[in-house]
Amino acid sequence: MADTYINKYEQAIAQSTVTDDDAVVAEAVKKILDEHFAENNTQEVYRTLFNCIDLTTLKSTDSPASVAKFTEAVNSFEELYPSLPNVAAICVYPNFAPVVRTVLEVSGVKIACVSGAFPSCQSFEEIKIAETSLAIANGADEIDIVFNLGNFFDHDYEAVTDEINEQKEACRDGELKVILETGALRTARNIKAASILSLYSGADFLKTSTGKEYPGASLEATYIMAQCIKEYYEKTGTKVGFKAAGGIRTTEDAVKYYTVVKEVLGEEWLNNEYFRLGASSLANSILSDIAGHEVKHF
């Protein structure tokens, strides 16, 4: 068992050719934006970005009534803006999955739930797995869990990967997004290692951040994660999605993330099957830029 683990995970990290030099990453991101941001800053891209949003409410004050109202805004969007694509998903705490499932009336919008003792990942493993199982059973299509930073920094990679594997099994037919919490990982080397461990443990998406305790998404982390996804796809033929979350509030911010993903992963990733933006205020920002005037629908 130990030999299998070392072969599968530690060798994958050791054999990866993705850069872990922070200065190289920063320069690569700057070059991409200098050369390609303007060409992506268009109305067509804004529409794509809106359709890639995981519309999110993760507040201590969330309640069945507030989440139902939040969901109704997604329902009414389709009536008020029939020419625009809707958001990709509604993201809530797992106990609200049944509320969204009951209230949501539009097709094509998925239900995502944070799980696994979000945002700290600190609880008994049995409770974290049970939370995911209950979320799926009560209507969730997608699960966002937090990468186990404590075990990672203790270099207990086996515990990290075992937990992700178990969460993936608990998702059944649902998709699993693994939140790396890149603001805590900080360095290119750590983000690269965490990405590879998650990919080889069955993640369907790599996600940057919770947007809670640590700094949120960064373009540099996005570049590294996208490079790891690209390398994994070239080695295995498996396409894994990317989700940026935490602090993405303006259309300009969103276009920058789109641009980095486009240049690293290509056009195939530029749809809501493989590209997501987790946000609460971003939807109104992009909608306003599409409409040409301030809109506060969500």
**Catalytic machinery residues:** 144, 207, 243
Token digits for 4?
């299998």
Token digits for 167?
């969460």
52 phi, psi to nearest 5 deg: -105, 5
Burial readout 143-162 (b: 16 or more C-beta within 10 A, e: otherwise) = bbbbbbbebbeeeebbebbb
**205-207 and 89-92 strand pairing:** unpaired
C-alpha to C-alpha distance for 281 and 278, rounded to whole angstroms: 10
Greatest Cα pair distance, the chain, in angstroms, is 60
C-alpha to C-alpha distance for 183 and 21, rounded to whole angstroms: 16
Helix 157-170 / helix 188-199 crossing angle, nearest 10 deg: 50
Give Cα 228 to chain centroid, integer Å. 15
